[in-house]
């Protein structure tokens, strides 16, 4: 019953990990306005993480019987459940189970009551994932406050700079780092808007810097139709408010904005209060509502081959070899973060704690000095921070290994679904990033060797899959596809 995904859909492993971390909580809500990737997050989690997951789409205005039927189809019951009690018994019989209810619009009053009753009567070892746009309809705040549920909201579902960059690479849309941050600013990371703009840019050979305006001019009418369709089931008053926001009108009534946010009507909550999504307005609303972000020049970190870290083509000059190694180690972590305890175990095993602590403090100071030599001390924290944990900001530090792994993961997923052209695009991007063995100058280090072996194996698979896909597509179409790839291209 799971819908097929398009070739430009990228895997959101961070979301999958977050949903998996709370799988013991009775209910996981995914609540955000339309177009925020709630369905994609559910499908990614069910395909890649859940061991016994059921997907049940819930149509707009669905009543109780429609919901019972949808769940029954997911469970493949011989006869549809005719009541709440029958459904609960059927779920209990299939436990352990993760049931995903994907609401396309709001159910009717009876449907909402049926879902709330299901939350209250969940059998042991059965958990719910509920994707919807309205917090108010399902009393999400109450369930979160009493610990029955956790909430994945628009902020968590939105694309960040790394995802925007990843999609642009996948679609071969040329970009600069300021382009990525600008797209993040003008769209608030709204996945449907970002994806739509990038797909249109790829179709028309437009750069990321031009993508949003290009999409707005050429597909703005389609976006307006999407918004209008989303407003069909809401009250006339709410629809009028959204239309005012679309035309660039300013709403200074906090209660009105909050009410729209609670209904998932294209308003988000930020530390500064409630405001409309910037892409909603045709009149550059982001200039009026959002704070301007002065983008940091990206740091490019090459870990394949000989190590290089540079900002604006200026290589960073490290104070000591040990400082450089610690920075490499942090960059190799999937989230760019490592604890001081782990660093001590890796670089000073068996040393006294106070000596390790002093050594780490010295290394952090030297790393800051090395970066500040290029950008100044005021800008250092855009790249590197040292608190209880040491971390690099992956929005501003672009690490080739992370890009390689992300593309290979997406490619493998598409390949396993026999979506070969989509898989090829990711494999090609991955092979371009791979420029040689991992950290040649540190190959003897234990923390390099094991990962280097794993990356080499994945690179071999990438090249094999590329050759296989080209051969398959050539055979299917009886003509060679216009595909090129050389490792390190």
Nearest to 25 by CA among 93, 87, 98: 98
Strand order in the sheet with 397-399: 314-315, 308-311, 299-302, 397-399
Strand partners, 398: 300
Task: Give CA separation, 217 vs 107, 210, 440, in Å.
Answer: 34, 11, 48
HEC per residue, 50-91: CCCEEEEEECCCCCHHHHHHHHHHHHCCCCCCCCHHHHHHHH
For residues 348 and 463, give the distance between their C-alpha atoms in angstroms, rounded to a whole number.
Answer: 38
b/e map of 294-314 (b: 16 or more CB within 10 Å)? ebbbbbbbbbbbebebebeee
Q: Which residues contact 457 (CB under 8 A, 6 or more apart)?
A: none
Domains of the chain by residue range? 13-157, 161-289, 318-395, 400-477
Cα–chain center distance at 95: 29
For residues 154 and 188, give the distance between their C-alpha atoms in angstroms, rounded to a whole number.
Answer: 10
Helix (H, G, I), strand (E, B) or coil at 233: coil
For residues 89 and 138, give the distance between their C-alpha atoms in angstroms, rounded to a whole number.
Answer: 23
Q: Which residues contact 231 (CB under 8 A, 6 or more apart)?
A: 238, 239, 242, 243, 265
| pTM to 2 decimal places | 0.69
For residues 395 and 180, give the distance between their C-alpha atoms in angstroms, rounded to a whole number.
Answer: 9
Per-position pLDDT tens, the chain of length 489: 666 666 667 889 899 999 999 999 999 999 999 999 999 999 999 999 998 999 999 999 999 999 999 999 989 888 888 899 999 999 999 999 999 999 988 899 999 999 999 999 999 999 999 999 999 999 999 999 999 999 999 999 999 999 999 999 999 999 998 899 989 988 999 999 999 999 999 999 999 999 998 998 888 888 888 998 898 888 888 988 888 888 666 666 788 889 999 999 999 988 778 888 988 864 333 333 333 445 688 999 999 999 999 999 999 999 999 999 999 999 999 889 999 999 999 999 999 999 999 999 999 999 999 999 999 988 898 899 988 789 998 888 999 999 999 999 999 989 998 999 999 999 999 999 999 999 999 999 999 999 999 999 999 999 999 999 999 887 665 544 444 443 333
Torsions phi, psi of 205, nearest 5? 55, 50
Q: With beta carbons less than 8 A apart as the criterion, state whether 165 and 180 touch.
A: yes
Nearest to 310 by CA among 196, 399, 214: 399
pLDDT for 189 equals: 94
pLDDT for 486 equals: 39
Nearest to 36 by CA among 233, 188, 186, 263: 188
Q: With beta carbons less than 8 A apart as the criterion, state whether 130 and 25 touch.
A: no
Nearest to 89 by CA among 100, 98, 77: 77
CATH code at 13-157? 3.40.50.300
Paired sense of beta strands 27-31 and 149-152, if any? parallel
Q: With beta carbons less than 8 A apart as the criterion, state whether 344 and 356 touch.
A: yes
Task: Give CA separation, 308 vs 262, 276, 303, 334, 447, in Å.
Answer: 47, 41, 7, 18, 18
pLDDT for 475 equals: 60
CB atoms within 10 A of CB 473: 16
DSSP state of 13: H
For residues 432 and 425, give the distance between their C-alpha atoms in angstroms, rounded to a whole number.
Answer: 11
Whether the bond into 96 is cis, omega within 30 of 0: yes
Helix %, strand %, coil % for the chain, to 5? 55, 15, 35
Question: For 107-154, where are the E strands, in sequence order?
Answer: 126-132, 149-152
Rounded (10°) angle between helices 208-230 and 236-246? 160
Q: Which CATH number fits domain 318-395: 3.40.50, 3.50.50, 1.10.1060, 1.10.10?
A: 1.10.10
pLDDT for 459 equals: 97
């Amino acid at each position: 019953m799971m819908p097929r995904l398009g070739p430009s859909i990228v895997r959101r492993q961070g979301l999958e990990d977050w949903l998996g971390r709370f799988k013991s909580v009775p209910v996981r809500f995914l609540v955000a306005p339309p177009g925020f990737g709630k369905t994609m997050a559910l499908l990614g989690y069910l395909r890649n993480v859940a061991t016994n997951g059921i997907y049940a789409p819930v149509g707009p205005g669905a009543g109780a019987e429609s919901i019972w039927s949808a769940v029954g189809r997911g469970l493949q019951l011989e006869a549809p459940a005719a009541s709440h009690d029958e459904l609960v018994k059927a779920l209990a019989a299939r436990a352990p189970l993760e049931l995903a209810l994907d609401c396309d619009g709001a159910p009717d009053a009876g449907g909402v009551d049926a879902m709330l009753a299901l939350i209250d009567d969940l059998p042991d070892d059965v958990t719910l994932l509920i994707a919807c746009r309205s917090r108010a309809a399902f009393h999400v705040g109450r369930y979160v406050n009493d610990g029955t549920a956790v909430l994945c909201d628009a902020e968590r579902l939105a694309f960040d700079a790394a995802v925007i960059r990843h999609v642009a690479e996948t679609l071969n849309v040329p970009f600069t780092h300021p382009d990525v941050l600008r797209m993040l600013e003008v769209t608030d990371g709204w996945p449907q808007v970002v994806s739509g703009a990038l797909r249109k840019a790829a179709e028309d050979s437009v750069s990321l810097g031009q993508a949003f305006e290009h999409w707005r001019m050429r597909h703005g009418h389609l976006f307006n139709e999407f918004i209008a369709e989303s407003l069909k089931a809401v009250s006339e008053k709410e629809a009028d408010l959204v239309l005012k926001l679309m035309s660039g009108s300013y709403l200074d009534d906090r209660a009105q904005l909050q009410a729209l946010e609670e209904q998932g009507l294209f308003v988000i909550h930020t530390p500064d209060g409630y405001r409309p999504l910037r892409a909603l307005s045709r009149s550059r609303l982001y200039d009026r509502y959002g704070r301007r972000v002065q983008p940091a020049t990206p740091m490019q970190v090459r870990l394949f081959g000989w190590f290089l870290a540079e900002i604006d083509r200026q290589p960073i000059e490290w104070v000591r070899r040990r400082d450089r190694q610690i920075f490499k180690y942090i960059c190799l972590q999937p989230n760019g973060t490592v604890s001081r305890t782990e660093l001590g175990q890796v670089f000073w095993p068996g040393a006294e704690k106070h000596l390790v602590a002093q050594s780490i403090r010295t290394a952090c100071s030297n790393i800051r000095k090395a970066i500040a030599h290029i950008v100044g001390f005021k800008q250092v924290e855009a790249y590197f921070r040292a608190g209880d944990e040491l971390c690099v900001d992956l929005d501003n530090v672009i690490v080739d290994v992370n890009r390689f792994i992300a593309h290979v993961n997406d490619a493998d997923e598409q390949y396993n679904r026999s979506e070969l052209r989509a898989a090829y695009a990711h494999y090609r991007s991955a092979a371009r990033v791979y420029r040689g063995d991992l950290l040649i100058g540190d190959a003897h280090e234990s923390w390099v060797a094991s990962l280097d072996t794993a990356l080499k194996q994945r690179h071999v698979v990438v090249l094999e899959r590329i050759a296989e896909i080209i051969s398959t597509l050539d055979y299917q179409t009886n003509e060679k596809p216009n595909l090129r790839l050389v490792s390190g291209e």
